[in-house]
A = this chain, B = another copy of it.
Amino acid sequence: MLTKAPHLFDDATRVTAGDSRWQGRTSDDYWAFVGPFGGATAATILRALIDHPERAGTPLALTVNYCAPIAAGTFDLDLRLVKANRSSQHWCVELTQNGGEVATLATAVFAERRPSWSHQPAPFPPARPFEQIRPFPRIAATWANQYDFRFIEGDPDFSGTSPQSEPVSAYSRLWIGDRVPRKIDMLSLMSMSDAFFGRVFHARRQMLPFGTVSLTTYFHADAEDLAAENTSRVLAVADAKIFHRSYGDQNGELWSPNGRLLATTTQIAYFKA
């Protein structure tokens, strides 16, 4: 009998149900420099919510505040349905370790998305085909190696800038897929919304101490829309507007190859420079 090994991403975001408290575990496969990849943490939180027996509707918005580094090992997820009405649910999630120390604080909105007038004013970014672009090489952070990044514009270049040189553009446009292909679902969209290199790395052409502080992602497709797209990659764009007093922003879009805007995302991140 052939059994299929679970995808590493499904392993990394695995949760065990409890009553109100669930449990998860960090993954060495999705590790950043000082803790787990924030996208994997966000996806794990979303997975617990989606799997929760009281959950109704489809994810609409998730905000994740990274309060402290998560240590390697297990963590608890405390999921609380703060308010529910006919068409939406509001959740609050605390990720704790060491018997109650909060490492991550999140809020989520789920909604029954009814048919409506539909209009997508955002322009679909132009892109060379995925197959025609060389994958971005492996780097020291394991999380990045779980992804197949193919840059169309704004390839990272960590050759450094001199203090005199002008900052370069923080804009990137790239295909993102799982290194081992996996169909795009809400969980991978959530994770990929954090799967950009720090904008400050691009602007300064160097790696620097960096950490996402708060991440917000909006979903513009429901499960049915995603199933119809039936794709294992997204066309992603990210940019920054400002770096000031140790914090910088990032805003991004995740598109299906067919030109549907699946998610928008924004974050504010600490940097040292």
Copies of this chain, tallied across the complex: 2
C-alpha spacing A116/B242, complex, angstroms: 12
From B94, B107, B115, give the contact of A245 (CB < 8 A): B115
Query: Which residues does A use to contact B, with CB under 8 Å?
Result: 60-61, 63, 65, 67-68, 82-83, 85, 88, 90, 92, 94, 101-103, 105, 107, 109, 111, 113-122, 167, 169-170, 203-204, 213-214, 216, 218, 220-222, 225, 239-247, 249, 251, 253, 261, 264, 266, 268, 270-273
From B101, B214, B261, give the contact of A61 (CB < 8 A): B214
> A85: nearest residue on chain B (CB-CB)?
B68
C-alpha spacing A266/B203, complex, angstroms: 23
Q: For A242, list chain B residues within 8 Å (CB).
A: 119-122, 220, 261, 264
C-alpha spacing A94/B115, complex, angstroms: 31
A153 to chain B, nearest CB (A): 15
Q: For A65, list chain B residues within 8 Å (CB).
A: 61, 63, 90, 107, 109
A122 and B261 in contact, given A85-B68, A117-B204, A271-B116 (Cβ under 8 angstroms): no
A219 to chain B, nearest CB (A): 9
A49 to chain B, nearest CB (A): 14
From B82, B114, B216, give the contact of A216 (CB < 8 A): B216
From B88, B94, B113, B121, give the contact of A167 (CB < 8 A): B121
25 CB-based A-B contacts, threshold 8 Å: A63-B63, A63-B214, A63-B216, A67-B90, A82-B102, A83-B101, A83-B103, A90-B102, A107-B214, A109-B213, A109-B268, A114-B246, A116-B243, A116-B246, A116-B272, A118-B243, A120-B241, A120-B244, A121-B240, A121-B242, A218-B249, A220-B247, A225-B245, A242-B261, A251-B251
A116 touches B244 (CB 8 A): yes
A259 to chain B, nearest CB (A): 12
Q: For A83, list chain B residues within 8 Å (CB).
A: 67-68, 101-103, 105
> A245: nearest residue on chain B (CB-CB)?
B113
A116 touches B273 (CB 8 A): yes
A105 touches B117 (CB 8 A): no
